[in-house]
Structure 1
Amino acid sequence: MSDVLALVEARLLTALGEPDARAGVTFLGADRIEVLRFPGADDGGDVVRYATLGMSAQPMSDPTAAVADPLRGPRAELVLSVRRGRADTDKVLRPLAVLAASPQVEGVVVAPGASLDTGEPLWPDAPFTSVLVAEPGGLVADLELDDPRDPVRFLPLLPMTPNEAAWKRVHGAAALQERWLRHGTDLRDPLRAGVPLD
């Protein structure tokens, strides 16, 4: 399925420019996951973006299915955008690779509205240990593949504080996003405080 990853990488480069760094992580029982760092020249260099490459090599399958379909099923890569220079966000590479490997390792189907938890800060001193998976299509357009394969979707990740993650479990993703919007939350700030949840 390396042909899929070549197309995915080309789509990322078209949308985000040339990466200035990349790192690869291999997990037992899973394919290699790479994380590419894009310096964000399109916005004056204030925002750095991290994108996974490798998660979409295989379709995600329902863990209850008797046999995984090698062609059909959702495919995705993950994209995280943060403001540069405020924290050591390059340490997010391994947590991002862990999240991208979760469909292979844990049988998780990653979709918009889902919460993904790393169990540790996303980077040193980060107030976030989990992310909300947002709707795709804004930053990087879906990549159509030949039938019968599903398109690759590039899913934005929004870091959540533990309190926000707990609140989202009760009230839902849409309610949390509405609260962020109402309070003008800068979701790209790597050191932001949690949104008021009263």
Structure 2
Amino acid sequence: MSTNPQNILLIVSDMWGFEHAMWLDNYILNLKDHFIIKRIDCNKIGKITASTENAIHQQFLDFGIDLVVEHILYYNQREVSILGFSIGGFIAWQAGHRGLSIKDFYAVSSTRLRLENYKPNTKSIHLYYGSDDSNIPNFDWHDMHSIKPNLIPNGNHLIYRKPEIAKKVCSDIISSCIV
């Protein structure tokens, strides 16, 4: 069994972007032989200029989310798989609502999904959360969408930065793309 290196994986950043995201290497190194990887830096593409967490979040709500969704839709005409982190997963979900063809959807700590009433049309959806993250969608939300969440014991919102979580998520992604 092998993977198809023609599969495109969009890796969509958290609100901080990729400039200082050394943790991203844990994902890239595990996935690069299995996908054509495209990185979507939400902070840069969203034209975020703020530097504090609350101000960055507000700029995403005011204009950044829409800018990144438009970018994703414009530059991705083929079916893609998604790996989104925090707000990046929410942004990719929005792109799916607006026409992005998504094969498999993976998101880690995308707590803003709790506000969504509809899910994008995909083959599969895999959501990972730290069990100690106070903003994760509740079980009723997951039941409504027929999604079984992957809860990481004793994990907070930034679980995606931990190498052992990257290994688990990458293993799940690779397993789903075996042809």
TM-score (norm: length of structure 2) = 0.28
Structure showing the higher helix proportion among its residues: 2
Higher relative contact order (CA 8 A, sep 6+): 2
Which structure has the larger Rg over C-alpha atoms?
Answer: 1
